Structure 1
Amino acid sequence: MTNLTKLEDWFADKNKVMVALSGGVDSALVAYAAYQKLGDSAIAVTADYKTLSEEELQTAKRICIEIGINQLFLDYNELENEEFTKNDSTRCFHCRLELGDHLLKLAKDHNVDVIVDGTNLDDLGDYRPGIDALRQNGIRSPLVETNLSKPQIRQIAKSVGLSVHDKPSNSCLASRIPWGQRVTAEKLTRIEFGETVVKQLTNVKQVRVRDLNGSAKIEVEKNDIPEFNNAVLDKITEKLKMIGFTSVEIDQEGYKPGKINVIAD
């Protein structure tokens, strides 16, 4: 039995399924498998909670068109949640707890009996309090339950023709702000704009613009750092200062997920 068949068969005894779909490869593959097995009894839901970038939102829409799956949207504002905006080490937990509440209500409206997400086997090795919050709401993870790792997921996604098979991993814009520094709409806007500028002026796909008390620290893969010659960096700095960053620097250590998950003064 192939890994794809195993994943599709996970849905065999389900009646109606809702897939929490972001713009990434993991939830895209879950949505693909659900739709292959259940057809219109599988629906995708994308949450526009104001910390998801417009790029991710558009990618999520494109994925659903590729798959053919119906897509619903949840529209709410995480910045109204004080437990989220105060940005301590439980931020992701409160984000996912709120998301779970919204998903459960929507599932009830659409007579859905199981909600699934794109958590994969590799995610369990990281600090991911959001996963605990989703579990509390009974949300299940077919990729974990069928023992699929990130490399396997990318390989399957490529074999079925999903355009996001090689898309770099991403996370919500709030993850660019160190714990202890409040999440605000202003910061999220300049982070999103900053990352768009960097991608436009370089050939780099994996970009994080960390907002460190107003200073921009740009993280890219180590082998992409040479893209930032003086002329390119000058252009980026000029644009980022126009939108409120006080200074701009390249992190010479290179990109590493969760690097700023420390309490900042």
Structure 2
Amino acid sequence: MTKLDDLVNWFEGKNKVMIALSGGVDSALVAYAAFQKLGSSAIAVTADYKTLSAEELGTAKQVCTEIGIKQLLLDYNELENEDFVKNDSDRCFHCRMELGDRLIKLAKDYDVGIIVDGTNLDDLGDYRPGIEALKKNGIRSPLVETNFSKSQIRESAKLVGLSVFDKPSNSCLASRIPWGQRVTAEKLTRIEYGENIVKQLTQVKQVRVRDIDGLAKIEVEKQMLSKFDKVILKQITEKLQMIGFTSVEVDPEGYKPGKINVIAD
């Protein structure tokens, strides 16, 4: 038996299951496995909230089409949650607690007994208060329970033909704002547009535009820094200033997850 068989068989005997599905490879593989075992008794749910980029939402919809699984959209505004907006070190916890509450309510509406997500073994090593929140809501993680690492997830996703198998990891747009600086709709919009501009002008797939009090700090993987020659950087700077950033710089150290998770003054 392969690891993928283990994941598919995890759903054996489960009646109805709801999968919290983002636009990433982890939850995509969970949704695929659930659909293989349960068919129409597996339902994918994507939270279409203000910190999810249009690109991620589009990918989530595409994944569900590829799998053939039914998708529901949870539409709400987490900017109405002051605990989230104030953006302290527990921001992810408050976000995921609200998501969990809404998933549980939706699951009751659809007579679903189990809610699952795409948390995997590699996630457990990071500071992830959001994972703790999901656990508190009773949401289970089949990839953890069947011992899947990120690389094994990508291998399995490629094997079954999911287009997101090599998609770079992403996180919500609020993660581009340092702790202690409030999350606003204006900031989220310029971050999303800013990342799209950088991607279009450089053809780099993994981009973070950190919004540090209006300064756009661009992070890409180190080997991609050569894409930012003087001409390209001038174009990026002009366009980012047009959408509200005060200044622009490229981080010479390159991209690293969670780099700005410090409380700002």
Between the aligned partners of 2:60 and 2:226, the Cα distance in structure 1 is 31
For residue 209 of structure 1, report the CA deviation from its aligned partner.
Answer: 0.1
For residue 13 of structure 1, report the CA deviation from its aligned partner.
Answer: 1.5
Question: 2:161 — aligned with what?
Answer: 161
Q: TM-score, normalised by structure 1?
A: 1.00
For residue 112 of structure 1, report the CA deviation from its aligned partner.
Answer: 0.3
Question: 2:119 — aligned with what?
Answer: 119
Deviating beyond 4 angstroms after TM superposition, the runs of 4 or more aligned structure 1 residues are none
Q: Deviations over 1:215-263 (max 9, x none)?
A: 0000000000000000000000000000110000000000000000000
Gaps of 5+ in 1: none
Question: 2:183 — aligned with what?
Answer: 183
Paired letter, 1:75: D
For residue 187 of structure 1, report the CA deviation from its aligned partner.
Answer: 0.2
Does the residue aligned with 2:148 lie in a helix, a strand or coil? coil
For residue 95 of structure 1, report the CA deviation from its aligned partner.
Answer: 0.2
Question: 2:36 — aligned with what?
Answer: 36
Paired letter, 2:220: V
Alignment of 1:83 onto 2:83: yes
Q: TM-score, normalised by structure 2?
A: 1.00
Between the aligned partners of 2:135 and 2:261, the Cα distance in structure 1 is 22
Question: 1:10 — aligned with what?
Answer: 10
Question: 1:99 — aligned with what?
Answer: 99
Does the residue aligned with 1:216 lie in a helix, a strand or coil? strand
Does the residue aligned with 1:45 lie in a helix, a strand or coil? strand
1:1-265 equivalences under 5 Å are 1-265=1-265
For residue 4 of structure 1, report the CA deviation from its aligned partner.
Answer: 0.5
Paired letter, 1:253: E
Between the aligned partners of 2:32 and 2:149, the Cα distance in structure 1 is 17
Gaps of 5+ in 2: none
Between the aligned partners of 2:225 and 2:18, the Cα distance in structure 1 is 40
Q: Deviations over 1:35-81 (max 9, x none)?
A: 00000000000001110000000000000000000000100000000
Give the fraction of aligned pairs with identical amino acids, expressed as a percent.
Answer: 78
Q: Deviations over 1:67-121 (max 9, x none)?
A: 0000001000000000000000000000000000000000000000000000000
Between the aligned partners of 2:264 and 2:14, the Cα distance in structure 1 is 45
Paired letter, 2:137: N
Q: Deviations over 1:158-188 (max 9, x none)?
A: 0000000000000000000000000000000
RMSD: 0.3
